[in-house]
Structure 1
């Protein structure tokens, strides 16, 4: 049996044993997310398609799957979804500006040799593709932070229905501060884990610190991490404010 199939079955068994019904739904959601991204990539090969619009639609659908399918439709998932959309609207302009200013689109000199035998005239705007890549890398962290804040805030409000918006907001901010450090570290180590071979190659070719920092491949990945971290930081006050407003309004 294929190794990937075996690992998938092991993952499914563990998720069902540990998470029960919600674990099974999470596994199905993972498959749905894969299908969404697969078809999004297929549509991106169309020269007339806009990668940014396609990935925004895909990320919206992924957010719905991860929030509403796994955790069902309730006040905590609704506020998490609204917070995710608001954060993405704010980040989108920042990502487009940053990508155009840093000129990270396209391939770096370290990658040119691998693709030199292929035609790069694929009919896709590489700047829009770079924006789409950063958005895709950010969606998971933002959705995770949003539900991680709205869910405990809902529990706090349930057990303390007399709490006002300010108290709930401050509680959400306190929760967010505890999550912020671990989330940004997760993004940071994910980069080093996936690009460890690249860093070793930099060492083998005797790149100086200045050459590494100015390498397009390195800069593109670091910008992705920094934007994702910025998105996480933005999500905390936005989610805390929206959730506090919605919970107090519901209690009233």
Structure 2
């Protein structure tokens, strides 16, 4: 399918935006310093040729958790020591299901190579090599997306890539430098919404209505979460990764509390965009089929469809946050924690506020997009309006 002139223009603007982003990253972000000394440590791929010996004891009642050591014969597959074979001891077995590595013949692992001046390099088992599985899934996702969606799928893929680049090279580095996470999340979300909906829907009133409705929904979700978080005295510390940030705050002005609220904005972005574009498409399609309908009737039609959509999409957000906190809920049940104690825990309150704030923003996207779409259909366009 040949791209239209509008789509080519959009690609040109995206290219300009991409070049500008690279220049911004290079001059504003790239030259940052780090308090973590990783300069002498490199990570390489290695293959376990043989497990020479295993002195392992199964720990507790959890299957697959061991304590002990393994003697391994490995071959390094990447880096400056590529092709080198050596024998090392795998001491990464402490009964920790998250970080332990139980090596098997033929398995690929990640080695940490530490080099010091005047000393031979030291090698240690770091983790499993999981990247190939991820690459296969990414390829499958791209194949399915483009195979089913064709040109729309390609546009969606480009939109997804832009989103990833914005988060990785704009939002996160500037958070690292101490800028407001909430402001950065709103800016990032606004750019993502504009580029994504323009790519998928084209440059027209329908896309503009979806952009306005979606942006309003995301901002509302962020404001509600911010106000609720302050009233509930949330700390922003919800897991091990958040706790580790405390130790680098002394070196970098990272706003830990703001990161949580920024996460709510970004996590609700996809669902809110889906609702916004769906409602705008419905209103404009109904107008194309029945141009004699008034703005009030078009708004009512958008609301009727939106009521069906918001139920499933609100469930999507709530279930996403619930799934992320499933282990916490099981832990609460295991300790038979009283309801009053559990509901007031920082972690539980945070998850509830995240889910409800995103869902409220999503629900309010429906009436906002419906009314904006109806207003964009002018009196003259009712007679001969052709939305592309």
TM-score (ref. length: structure 1): 0.90
C-alpha contact (below 8 Å) 2:225/2:354 kept by paired residues: no
Corresponding residue for residue 4 of structure 1: 134
| More relative contact order, 1 or 2 (CA 8 Å, 6+ apart) | 1
C-alpha contact (below 8 Å) 2:218/2:268 kept by paired residues: no
Alignment of 1:37-186 (within 5 A): 37-39=167-169, 40-47=171-178, 49-107=179-237, 111=240, 115=244, 118-121=247-250, 122-186=252-316
- 1:217 maps onto 2:356 in alignment: no
Question: How far is 1:169 from its partner?
Answer: 0.6
C-alpha contact (below 8 Å) 1:105/1:129 kept by paired residues: no
Unaligned stretches of 5+ in structure 1?
none
C-alpha contact (below 8 Å) 1:99/1:127 kept by paired residues: no
Once residues 242 and 217 of structure 2 are traced to their aligned partners in structure 1, the CA distance between those partners, rounded to angstroms, is: 38
More helix by share: 1
Unaligned stretches of 5+ in structure 2?
1-130, 384-388
Question: How far is 1:86 from its partner?
Answer: 3.2
Cα deviations by residue, 1:203-231 (Å, 9 ceiling, x for unpaired) = 23332322221111111111011111111
Structure-2 change in CA distance of 1:112 and 1:127 (3 Å): closer
- 1:243 maps onto 2:366 in alignment: no
Please identify the structure whose Cα radius of gyration is greater. Answer: 2
C-alpha contact (below 8 Å) 1:52/1:132 kept by paired residues: yes
Cα deviations by residue, 1:150-170 (Å, 9 ceiling, x for unpaired) = 001111000111111110010
TM-score (ref. length: structure 2): 0.60
Cα deviations by residue, 1:180-224 (Å, 9 ceiling, x for unpaired) = 110111112112222222222222333232222111111111101
SS in 2 for 1:244: helix
Structure-2 change in CA distance of 1:107 and 1:92 (3 Å): closer
Once residues 23 and 243 of structure 1 are traced to their aligned partners in structure 2, the CA distance between those partners, rounded to angstroms, is: 24
Cα deviations by residue, 1:127-164 (Å, 9 ceiling, x for unpaired) = 32232122222222221111110001111000111111
Question: How far is 1:34 from its partner?
Answer: 1.1
Corresponding residue for residue 322 of structure 2: 192
Please list every run of at least 4 consecutive aligned residues from structure 1 whose deviation after the TM superposition is greater than 6 angstroms. Answer: none
Once residues 51 and 30 of structure 1 are traced to their aligned partners in structure 2, the CA distance between those partners, rounded to angstroms, is: 21
After superposing the two structures, state which structure 1 stretch, 182-191 or 85-94, moved more. Answer: 85-94
Question: How far is 1:73 from its partner?
Answer: 1.3
SS in 2 for 1:106: coil
SS in 2 for 1:2: helix
How well do the aligned residues superpose, as a CA RMSD in angstroms?
2.3
Once residues 132 and 166 of structure 1 are traced to their aligned partners in structure 2, the CA distance between those partners, rounded to angstroms, is: 36
Structure-2 change in CA distance of 1:35 and 1:2 (3 Å): same
Once residues 237 and 45 of structure 1 are traced to their aligned partners in structure 2, the CA distance between those partners, rounded to angstroms, is: 37
Once residues 134 and 90 of structure 1 are traced to their aligned partners in structure 2, the CA distance between those partners, rounded to angstroms, is: 11
